[in-house]
Amino acid sequence: MSLSAWESNGQLAIVYAIFALSLYAPLSAGVLSVASVCSGALGGFLLAVMMPASGVASIYTLLLAALIGGAAAFIMSFVLLRLDSHYLAFATIALILVTYVVVLNASSVTGGAVGRVAAGTLGWAYLCVALVVCCWTFARIRLSRTGLAAAVVRADPLVASGIGINPRHIQRALFTVGGTVAGVAGALLASLLEYVDPTTFYTPLAFTSLAAVVLGGAYYWQGAVIGAFVFTLLPYLLQEYFSANLDQVADGVVIIAIVIFFPGGLIEMGKWIRLPELGRLAAVVPGRPAAGQVLDTEKAQPTSLPAGTAGTAGTARTAGTVQRGRPDLAQYTARKEHDGAALEVRSLTKIFGGLRAVDGLSLAVPTGSIFGVLGPNGAGKTTFINLLSGVLSPDEGATIVLGQETTGWPAYRVARLGLARTYQNIRLSQGLSVLETIMSGSYSRQRSTMAAAVAALPGERRERRACADEARHLMEVVGMSAAEDRRAATLAYGEQRRVEIARALASHPAILLLDEPTAGMNAQESAQLGELLRSLSGQGITIVLIEHNIRLVSEFCTHAAVMHSGSLIATGRPDDCLAQEEVQLAYFGRRSDAERLESLRILRSDPGD
Amino acid sequence: MELFFQQTINGLGQGAIIVVFAIGFSLIFSNLGILNVAQGTFATWGAIVAYYLCVDAHLPIWLCAVVGALAIGALGVAVDVICFAPLRHRSTGLFAPLISSIGAWIVLLNVAQIVIGANTNGFPSGAVPRLVIHVFGLYITSMVAIDVAVAIVVAVAMGLLINRTRFGASVRAIGLDERTIAIAGINTRVVALSTAFLAAAMSGLAGVLSGLTDNVITYNFGESLLIVGFAAVVVGGVGSLGGCVLGGFAFGLIQVYSEQYVSSAFSDAITYSVLLLALIVRPRGLFGRTLEARA
């Protein structure tokens, strides 16, 4: 390829990189949208209108393009973000098609099918500066609390709302960022091509940008840039070796090969070449320990004890370890003093079709208790927790959290009152380290805006550092032994649970709702978790847990409630509840079955479970 | 008024082709979860294969159509094996298969351009029946009648296959939970490949019909079918055969009416706007099912 060809293709690659970034922005919050191409169209035609054939386009044109692109995205988000993920993607494709036709027919402004000329005076300087500014912006957002929140929203919006993040808000913010960046890219493209027509901002651009993002590595903004460069320059390289059309065929083959052999994107290759992780060249978090520094083994919780120390000995040891290293948790507890029950429900009812999942439930959870919710499968326990945390709205009755009536509140609002919740299926965000995952839990307590993060203001830096220190603190509290910069999603199951609890604690909850936290754990791990809960409760946090592990409940819970078919059948101390005939009936069926099991147990002299 | 009925008939003819294409597209989308943007090229290639069979091998036209559809079915299997099957057990979501399909689309589009060039080909005049039937003062060309007949036959046959046979049940099941049905003893690989075969064959058949009806075969004429077929599936409801049929005929009528009563430039705009509106107002389409997930 000749030098001038390299030059023009290089410039094109930069513009496509910025388009790819504009697509990456909503994607980082879980929104697959190509609507930024429409914002690009606005930016491009704006440039063409303002600078028809001559004249020097200035920074002001670019800023205006950014503004228009961002405003359009902001407005579109109100309609688009209501849609479910797949339908949203379709709708944005349809939006591009509609834009195409509008451009085609608004000939007075856009030149119709013929298009119009645009001034081509934005040179290398503008392109490079624009790219650097965009990369900087995305790098800063990634570090900020918005970036961490976006990663959580992407993994599971429900989990995000459970820690006080409003998913819609985050998605809208990043969607708007995407539109702003696309506006700039559109103006730059128009200037580069010196021409715009309806096909400039059409589906090929959308699919090319999407392919660039995915091929580069969909979880990293660096992937979008790398993917765009490879995707733009590759066809021209191939043109050197293949004749017309065959070079495109080769291009298609390369795309398929990359998707199949590098599903995580080209950025995966960094693992093989042992590059320092891109984006981590600067300290992610100020003040973090150098890589390789081992955590104090005294404070690290052993995940498996030597054989023969099962049972109470092991429990005592873990209890001792927790006691010794236990940091002061008082700072993490309830924000305001509050008399009366931490949680209360009155005549709570939820109906699904013909099923009364929760039927006229009334109970109160005392402050500072460890409250177990028991019941056979299908009793309505998870529905009850969903109603408490705001994931579902009750059909009748009321929920009262810390004295505040929260009936019908959205989940993130209830979470911000001081209620943190974990789920049965752990959904940890891809691409976040252990430390970052825990830090994401304190989103609702922080105040820095995205703009402050991008501008690298000292206030934001300070807040982030404090957040990181607290996250490290919490790692000790829950007894994590993994390194803080490990990918959270690669940890062992028990460790993942700890991370999840630490994340919940980072929001400084007054109440912790845990849905089957010991599912899949063995006796040792369950005992360790029980000890952790006890120490948290000692610091003033009210804990509600759904559990099937009867031993855990009777050993660690101070109160219990048993549900069956949507109603409450027992409440009070755990052992009292379990001794009740009705409860045993619910679990074991007919009374004679329970008796039969009991006699079998005695016969076999089973030490019991 | 007569014009309206005449255009209705034309619209139904056009819609019939969309119906056949939409059934194929929906099959692979709702059951294998793959948004396959290469389906349009399948239609193009169906017409190309049928064209060469007709012109070079001098086969009767109906045989060309059948063989063409089967050939594209085989192509669909090849594309699935190369582009989609390796990704199937990696749970990569919507992205990776989509990008893979973009790669396949680029390859197939450009090979078509190599083979057929920038020419516009048409079937030789003797090959296609070009009768005109007069009914109640309206003209029904034989191709319109054939298109509608084929669409009805295909829809009924696929409906029976998917809803009344054991094979059809496994096709529907693979869309819901592949791992579980594998445990139940169903050969998921065979089911997936069969689904890919059928989906591609349907698109190929739609391409053949389109080539016969309009007598225009270019290297990218299948792309317009892709967009409108996609719209038909979405508006009709993903996963619903009845939705495909209704959506296909509806969009055929919409296209023809807008060309007649508004302008041909705007008929595309109206199609896309209807799609956008439908997504905003009723995303799951006319007959689509909503899936509730347990929190």
The span from the CA of A412 to the CA of A167, in Å, is 8
A299: nearest Cα among A280, A277, A323, A275: A323
- Among chain B residues, CA nearest to A383: B295
d(CA B35, CA A137): 32
Q: What is the pLDDT of residue B263?
A: 76
Cβ contact B100–A260 (<8 Å): yes
- pLDDT tens digits, B224-238: 899 899 889 989 888
Does the pLDDT value for residue B215 go beyond 70?
A: yes
Across the range A16-33, mean pLDDT stands at 94
- Which backbone phi and psi does A119 adopt, to 5 degrees? -70, 135
In sign, the C-alpha dihedral spanning A427, A432, A433, A438 is negative
Distance CA B151, CA B136 (A): 23
E strand or H helix at A386, and its extent? helix A381-389
* CATH number assigned to the domain comprising residue B203: 1.10.3470
pLDDT in tens, B50-77: 998 888 888 888 888 999 999 999 999 9
Chain A partners of B95 at a C-beta cutoff of 8 Å?
A: 32, 214, 218
Over 90: is that where the pLDDT of A608 sits? no
Per-residue b or e along A459-487, where b marks 16 or more CB atoms closer than 10 Å to that residue's CB = ebbebbeebbebbbbbbbbbbbebbbbeb
Asked whether residue A309 carries a pLDDT value surpassing 90, the answer given is no
Q: Does residue A274 sit in helix, strand or coil?
A: coil
B279 inside 8 A of chain A by CB: yes
**Percent share of chain B, pLDDT over 70:** 95
B105–A252 CB contact, under 8 Å: yes
Over range B203-216, report the average pLDDT: 91
* Of A319, A372, A279, residue with least CA distance to A524: A319
Q: Is the pLDDT of residue A338 over 80?
A: no
Q: Give A153's contacts (C-beta < 8 A, 6+ positions apart).
A: A29, A30, A160, A165, A167, A170, A171
Strongest mean pLDDT among A124-138, A237-251, A318-332: A124-138
Q: For residue A531, what are the β-bridge partners? A: none
Q: Which residue of B has its CA nearest to A250?
A: B107
Distance CA A272, CA B135 (A): 72
Over the range B107-117, which residues count as b (16 or more CB within 10 Å of their CB) and which as e? Answer: bbbbbbbeebe
User: Are A188 and A15 spatial neighbours (Cβ–Cβ below 8 Å)?
Assistant: yes
Q: How far is A167 from chain B (nearest CA, A)?
A: 16
Is residue A106 within 8 A of residue A50, CB to CB? The reply is: no
CA atoms within 13 A on the CB side of A439: 26
**pTM, rounded to two decimals:** 0.81
Q: Is residue B78 part of a domain?
A: yes
How far does Cα A431 stand from its chain's mean position? 10
The C-alpha atoms of residue A61 and residue A416 are separated, in whole angstroms, by 41
Give B94-147 pLDDT, tens digit per residue.
678 888 998 999 899 999 988 888 778 788 777 777 788 887 777 888 888 889
Return the H-helix or E-strand segment holding A21.
Answer: helix A3-27
CB contact under 8 A, B295 and A158: yes
Question: CA-CA distance, A36 to A32, in Å (whole number)?
Answer: 11
CB contact under 8 A, B110 and A249: yes
Tokens encoding B5: 């009925």
Taking residues A166-187, what's their average pLDDT?
95
CA gap B278, B238 in Å, rounded:
13
Given this model, what pLDDT does residue A286 score? 40
Ranges A313-322, A445-454, B100-109, B128-137, most confident? B100-109
Q: Are strands A511-515 and A542-546 parallel, antiparallel or unpaired?
A: parallel
Residue A380 zone, left/alpha/beta (φ > 0; ψ -120 to 50; rest)? left
The pLDDT of residue A276 = 46
Query: Which of A310-324, A471-485, B245-259 shows the lowest mean pLDDT across its residues?
Result: A310-324
Q: Return d(Cα A42, Cα A535) in angstroms, integer.
A: 57
Angstrom distance (rounded) from CA B45 to CA B203:
9
Q: Does A340 touch chain B (CB under 8 A)?
A: no
| ipTM metric | 0.87
Cα(A356)–Cα(A350) distance, integer angstroms: 6
Q: How confident is the model at residue B93 (pLDDT cuts 50, 70, 90)?
A: low
- In whole angstroms, give the CA distance from residue A347 to residue A359: 7
C-alpha distance across the termini of chain A, in Å: 74
Q: Is residue B203 part of a domain?
A: yes
Evaluate whether A561 touches A371 at the Cβ level (below 8 Å): yes
Mean pLDDT over A366-388 rounds to: 88
As a whole number of angstroms, the distance between CA B288 and CA B236 comes to 7
Give Cβ neighbours of residue B115 (< 8 Å, ≥ 6 apart): B48, B219
* CA dist list (Å): B250 to B12, B245, B254, B262: 8, 8, 6, 17
Residues 109-168 on A with a CB inside 8 Å of B are 158
Q: Which domains are present in chain A?
A: 3-212 (no CATH), 340-429+509-603 (3.40.50.300)
CB A17 within 8 A of CB A217: no
Q: Which domain holds residue B218?
A: 2-117+128-281
Q: Say how far apart CA B160 and CA B241 lie, in whole Å.
A: 10
- What is the Cα B252 distance to its own chain's centre? 13
Identify the H or E element spanning B134.
strand B132-135
The Cα B13–Cα B197 span in angstroms is 25
- Put simply, the answer to whether A90 touches B94 (Cβ < 8 Å) is no
**Those residues with Cβ within 8 angstroms of residue A77's Cβ, 6 or more apart along the chain or in another chain:** A171, A172, A175, A176
Mean of per-residue pLDDT scores for chain B = 86
Confirm whether B286 is domain-assigned: no
User: Count of domains in chain B?
Assistant: 1
A386-410 mean pLDDT:
90
Residues of A in contact with B98 (CB under 8 A): 210, 214
Cβ count within 10 A of residue B262? 12
- DSSP output for A256-269: HHHHHH-TT-GGGH
* Contact between A105 and B103 using a beta-carbon 8 Å cutoff: no
Token pair for A20 = 């790819």
* Phi and psi, residue A431, nearest 5°: 85, 0
Q: Residue B204 has what pLDDT?
A: 95
> Cβ contact (<8 Å) for B110 and A248?
yes
Dump pLDDT digits (tens) for A501-513.
Answer: 999 999 889 999 9
Any long-range contacts for A296-303 (C-beta under 8 Å, 24+ apart)?
Answer: A298/A324, A298/A325, A299/A325, A299/A476, A300/A479, A300/A480, A300/A481, A301/A479, A301/A480, A301/A481, A301/A528, A302/A481, A303/A481, A303/A492, A303/A494, A303/A495, A303/A525
**pLDDT-derived band at A293, boundaries 50, 70, 90:** very low
User: Residues for chain A: how many in total?
Assistant: 609
Q: Which residues of B touch A75 (CB under 8 A)?
A: none
CB A416 within 8 A of CB A444: yes
The answer to the question of residue B275 being in a domain is yes
The answer to whether residue B273 sits within a structural domain is yes
Asked, for residue B292, whether it belongs to a domain, the answer is no
More confident residue, A284 or A416: A416
Contact assignment for B265 to A104 by CB distance below 8 Å: yes
Q: Which residues contact B88 (CB under 8 A, 6 or more apart)?
A: B178, B192
Per-residue model confidence (pLDDT) at position B208: 93
**Residue in this structure with the two tokens 């690298």, named with its chain if needed:** A456
For residue A113, the model assigns a pLDDT of: 78
> Which stretches of A165-244 are DSSP H helices?
167-193, 203-217, 221-241
Question: How far off is chain B from A300, nearest CA to CA, in Å?
Answer: 33
| A105:B111 CB<8 A | no
Give how far A431 is from chain B: nearest CA, Å.
14
Contact across the interface for A207 and B102, Cβ inside 8 Å: yes
CA angle A363-A366-A369, nearest 5°?
A: 120
Per DSSP, the three-state class of A139 is helix
- Confidence at residue A278, expressed as pLDDT on a 0 to 100 scale: 43
Res B16: pLDDT: 95
Please check the confidence at residue A294 and state whether its pLDDT lies above 70: no
Q: Which stretches of A328-432 are assigned E, i.e. beta strand?
A: 343-352, 355-365, 370-374, 396-401, 404-405, 419-421
**Are B24 and B209 spatial neighbours (Cβ–Cβ below 8 Å)?**
no
Q: Which 265-284 residues of chain A touch chain B by CB within 8 A?
A: none
pLDDT of A109? 78
Task: Report d(CA B275, CA B268) in Å as an integer.
Answer: 11
The CA distance from A51 to A65, in Å, is 12
**Long-range Cβ contacts of A105-108 (<8 Å, 24+ apart):** A105/B265, A105/B266, A105/B269
| pLDDT-derived band at B25, boundaries 50, 70, 90 | very high
Give the whole-number percent of chain A exceeding pLDDT 90: 27
